[in-house]
Amino acid sequence: MNGNNDKNRPLAENAPREAPRETQWRPQDGAPSPKQLLDQSHSRFRKRKKEGVNPGIVIFILVLAAVIGVSVFVLATGRGGVSDDVLPETNTVAETEEVPQEICDYIETEPSAVHRGSLILVNHEVAYEFPEDGTGPEVASVYDNCNGLLKVASMSDSLDPVTLSRLVSFASDFEERTGDRCFMVNSAYRTYGDQVSIYRSYSETLGEEYARTYVANPGFSEHHTGMAADLAVVFDDGSSVPIEEYGNYNVMREMIPSYGFILRYPEDKIAVTKIGNEPWHFRYVGTPHASVIEKTGLCFEEYVGFLKNYTADGSALYLAPDGVLRSLPFADVSLVRDSTLIYFVPKANEGNTSVPVPKNATGYQISGNNTDGFIVTVTVGNPAETVTSVDEAVAQTAHDSVLTGEE
């Protein structure tokens, strides 16, 4: 992560930025509870033929049956102003758990997996969890694997292999569309030691206050994931231009979500990310998540919280074949085809988490969010990867999630 552009700060281009410590932000805790289900009672009346039945008794039974029928209708429809405290108690958890058992298989996911995957959140509050053996994530050399489509600031620059592959694909298609081969990876994966050195260097040269403001604490840099890249524009003749002033920057911003990348620190989300505007810092989150984030207008912190509204005991986020993002009752996931489903599964309090995956899935990915659960991305058939529009209900949920997530 880098600090803001400043001609008087030659080192700020390669420096991540840290927010003031006193400011706190946390993703929204937990998704809304599922709707309560109302048990509908059915009364059965058995008529017994008796000789010499008293007509008055017959009339009484008919009136009583009518009263009970009206009562059942009122309870079933919620009409008549009946207060919740007189409704029969229901075991909501037991009822909602029955649905996934019929349409899902279960993937046993270890607790440590909550810290792995393309959707882990790393910021000034949530640290990157390094592997227990003290190593970093698996990374690959940018220079050795970019087919000459990317320049590098250092021969040691490396990225997560999937992130690098998608970045190279983007660079290739970008050149085909614009004729430009100009992107340089200015900063990529950083070890814990790298971040210590950067922080110490800034403290010694520019002062401790500057380091605290512009450099992330070791362990809290998104560059530790190997899925973040700071990009610069450098042409073959050696000339360069600030990336936000590059003539085809808007084309880049239009194209790059389709390859799984988001602009991590947009200017209008500084209050949430606690990081200044960084038009050069891109983070791989995968498809279709990048397109969803772009269309809903959320930043990554907000998106991770927003997904908690979609669970296996409620509704899934549904990218329909026409590219429209909607909400779909999870009980109906077996009916869809050529679609993508996204939903959140809370991490179990103890032991492995049983993650439900619909039986009609043709592919799935399970990523931890680095805090309290797993984000499941299910594909059925040949789904769309790009969101063309957002359903009104989803847009409202996203809006409400942002509001409730603010402090």
Dist CA 12 CA 5 (whole Å)? 7
- From the list 13, 18, 222, 278, the catalytic residue is 278
Question: For residue 7, is it left (φ>0), alpha (ψ between -120 and 50) or beta?
Answer: alpha
Pick from 159, 327, 57: nearest CA to 171: 159
How big is the CA angle at 387 (ends 381 and 389), to the nearest 5 degrees? 125
* Rg of the chain, C-alpha, whole Å: 27
Distances (CA, A) of 16 to 107, 198, 212, 230, 231: 37, 9, 10, 10, 13
Dist CA 84 CA 8 (whole Å)? 65
Q: At 230, phi and psi to the nearest 5?
A: -90, 120
Catalytic site residue 222?
no
Does an H or E element contain 302, and which?
helix 300-306
Dist CA 328 CA 140 (whole Å)? 38
Does an H or E element contain 405, and which?
helix 392-405
Dist CA 310 CA 30 (whole Å)? 10
Q: At what angle do helices 289-296 and 392-405 cross, to 10 degrees?
A: 80
Distances (CA, A) of 83 to 33, 92, 190, 198, 253: 19, 18, 58, 62, 52
Residue owning tokens 């206050």: 209
Which residues are known to be catalytic?
Answer: 278
